[in-house]
Structure 1
């Protein structure tokens, strides 16, 4: 994995298989600068060179998203291949994390999404009780 600070944010480039054996790299990156610097801007995970992602990889992305959300920062994905898009869709993570066609678009985006639990819920109909 490569980590680089850009003018508009931090880019993490993942390569190969994102599984139980490799997620430790993402966790370690999340603990270091610039990923752990609240002033560094959004974090973009470039998935273009990934060939595989399992539940461990999905879990690692969720943990990073939680960490960044606590800092009011965005986590965005870019260049997501079909082999990675499928587990994202199956878990619903693609509805939480913005997915962009390329890293430049992800860095330029203004799509910071709040936690789905914070979004307004539809009003529930009121119950009427008749005496």
Structure 2
């Protein structure tokens, strides 16, 4: 009989693509929670210091207050360095959190990555 595998929390995958004109697309998928927020922060904040960053959140199934904090930090970092921070394709779960916290009024949100890049 096989031993049962211990439960592992869902992870967060972060992929980064560099484009023309100092534009970076960071695609995240999984759960953006306290355990995973450091992984996103370490990739997202440095990128915001160098131009336009688009965060593709289509694959994010959960976002807690730690995730929200990183989004606010990214917006402030981009604004402070003369860049732009944009969210693309937020999942329904993320969209609800952005709406409930009124961050949909503060952050630039686009239906897809192309729209965010071509603004």
Runs of 4+ in 1 over 4 A off after TM superposition: none
Give unpaired runs (5+ residues) of structure 2. Answer: 1-13
- TM-score, normalising length: structure 1: 0.75
Q: Give 1:30 deviation, angstroms.
A: 3.4
Q: Give 1:25 deviation, angstroms.
A: 1.3
More strand by share: 2
Gap change, CA 1:93 and 1:99, over 3 Å in 2: same
**1:96 to 2:109 alignment:** no
Gap change, CA 1:16 and 1:104, over 3 Å in 2: same
Question: 1: distance between equivalents of 2:68 and 2:41?
Answer: 12
The higher radius of gyration belongs to 1
Q: Give 1:16 deviation, angstroms.
A: 0.3
Question: 1: distance between equivalents of 2:110 and 2:87?
Answer: 6
- TM-score, normalising length: structure 2: 0.82
Give unpaired runs (5+ residues) of structure 1. Answer: 110-131
Q: How does 1:29-108 map to 2 (within 5 A)?
A: 29-32=43-46, 35-38=47-50, 41-108=51-118
